[in-house]
């Protein structure tokens, strides 16, 4: 399955660093900290109510996630977003996730099917709540979590830990772009129908159809991002 975000050991100070990391990460994904924005430790330590050392630990974790870049002694900045970057993320993810799905369909047992049905049901409920809503942060966060869970369960039976590792990185990297495509809705799209078609093909054990649908589903987000005004993509 997709591995969780990097996290420090659970000592008292490390727990503070993890909390700061999660808050920073959320603010980056949601656009509260804009792409390219300079992250000043002296300002952010007050915003997140942690010490400078703890904040630097959190920023180091975000550097490992490639959501923050460090420029030597000049400090930290939020990693920029670009269409070229998302094209690379998308095409690499398509190659890896469709292969993982094929292996998962071949090896998945009854428990895998049951888990997939449960994940699809929970995702469907979240999609009903999100549909037609304005940019409600809590609704989107729930949808994002259940969307991730659905994709995780689909490939859970794939035995390759390296495929899971690299897909976890790619999935996290796509979050900012996916939020833009959902909240700005540049193209008419029924994401629920896309998920249902993939789900049905998985249950039918039709690996060719499921892989083709999954690839189109992932690329649809790229197509939506291509339609965004340059200012929106730059402002994230």
Note the pTM of the prediction, 2 decimals.
0.81
Q: Give 5's pLDDT tier (boundaries 50, 70, 90).
A: very low
The listed CATH number (3.40.50.720, 3.30.70.580, 3.40.50.2300, 1.10.10.10) that belongs to domain 12-78: 1.10.10.10
What is the residue extent of each domain of the chain? 12-78, 83-235
Q: Other C-beta atoms within 10 Å of 88: how many?
A: 13
Q: Which helix (H) or strand (E) holds 159?
A: none
CA 54 to chain centre: 25
Q: Which pLDDT tens digit goes with each residue over 160-216?
A: 999 999 999 899 889 888 887 877 776 778 899 999 999 999 999 999 999 999 999
Q: What is the pLDDT of residues 69-120, one digit of tens each?
A: 998 777 899 999 899 999 999 999 999 999 999 999 999 999 999 999 999 9
Entry field: residues in the chain = 236
* Number of neighbours of residue 117 by Cβ within 10 angstroms: 14
Tokens for 200?
């049905």
Tell me which of 18 and 153 has the higher pLDDT: 153
**Residues 83-235, CATH architecture:** Up-down Bundle (1.20)
154's tokens = 């689909």
Q: For 121-130, give one letter per residue: b (16+ CB within 10 A) or e.
A: ebbeebbeeb
How many CB atoms are located within 10 Å of the residue 73 CB? 5
Cβ atoms of 166 and 1 closer than 8 Å: no
pLDDT in tens, 9-66: 454 556 888 999 999 998 998 888 988 899 999 899 889 989 999 999 999 999 988 8
């Amino acid at each position: 399955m997709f591995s969780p975000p990097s996290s420090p050991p659970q000592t008292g100070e490390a727990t503070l660093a993890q909390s700061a990391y999660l808050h920073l990460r959320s603010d980056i994904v949601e656009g509260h900290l804009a792409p390219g924005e300079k992250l000043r430790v002296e300002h952010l330590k007050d915003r997140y109510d942690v010490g400078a050392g703890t904040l630097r630990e959190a920023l180091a974790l975000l550097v490992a996630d490639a959501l923050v870049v460090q420029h030597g002694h000049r400090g930290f900045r939020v990693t920029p977003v670009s269409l070229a970057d998302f094209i690379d993320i998308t095409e690499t993810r398509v190659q890896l996730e469709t292969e993982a799905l094929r292996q998962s369909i071949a090896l998945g047992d009854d428990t895998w099917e049951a888990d997939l049905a449960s994940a699809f049901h929970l995702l469907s409920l979240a999609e009903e709540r999100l549909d037609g809503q304005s940019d409600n942060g809590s609704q989107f966060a729930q949808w994002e979590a259940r969307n991730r869970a659905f994709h995780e369960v689909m490939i859970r039976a794939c035995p390759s830990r390296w495929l899971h590792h690299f897909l976890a990185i790619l999935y996290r990297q796509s979050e900012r772009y996916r939020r833009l495509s959902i909240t700005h809705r540049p193209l008419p799209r029924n994401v629920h129908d896309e998920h249902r078609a993939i789900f049905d093909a998985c249950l039918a054990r039709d690996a060719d159809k499921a892989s083709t649908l999954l690839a189109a589903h992932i690329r649809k987000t790229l197509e939506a991002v291509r339609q965004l005004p340059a200012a929106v993509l730059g402002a994230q």
